[in-house]
Structure 1
Amino acid sequence: MIIRKYILADFSAIRTLFKQTIRISNARDYSAEQLAAWIGNDDKATLTAWQQSLLAHVTLVAIQDEQLVGFTDMSDAGYLDRLYVRPAYQHQGVATALVDGLIAAVSVKTYTTAASITARPFFERQNFRVMHAQQVERDGCQLTNYLMVRGV
Structure 2
Amino acid sequence: MEIRPYKPIDLEQIAQLFYETVHAVNIKDYTERQVNAWATGNINLKEWGTSFLKHLTYVATEKDMIIGFGDIDETGYLDRIYVHKDFQGQGVATAICNRLENEIGTKCITVHASITAKPFLKKGDIIRLSFKKLRNKGFS
Q: State the TM bucket, normalised to the shorter chain.
A: over 0.9
Correspondences of 1:48-127 after superposition (within 5 Å): 48-127=46-125
Structure 2 equivalent of residue 30 of structure 1? 30
Structure with greater proportional strand content: 1
Q: 1:134: how far off?
A: 3.9
SS in 1 for 2:13: helix
May I ask how many residue pairs the two structures share in their alignment?
A: 140
TM-score for both structures, normalised by structure 2 = 0.92
Structure 2 equivalent of residue 14 of structure 1? 14
Counterpart Cα distance in 1 of 2:34 and 2:103? 33
Counterparts in 2 of 1:132 and 1:17: CA distance versus 1, 3 Å: closer
Counterpart Cα distance in 2 of 1:14 and 1:91? 19
Are 2:139 and 1:142 aligned?
yes
Counterpart Cα distance in 2 of 1:7 and 1:57? 12
Q: Which runs of 4 or more aligned residues in structure 1 lie more than 3 Å from their structure 2 counterparts after TM superposition?
A: 129-134
5+ residue gaps, structure 1, are: 144-152
Q: In angstroms, what is the RMSD of aligned CA positions?
A: 1.6
Structure with greater proportional helix content: 2
TM-score for both structures, normalised by structure 1 = 0.86
SS in 1 for 2:135: strand
Asked whether the 8 Å contact 1:18–1:84 carries over to 2, the reply is: yes
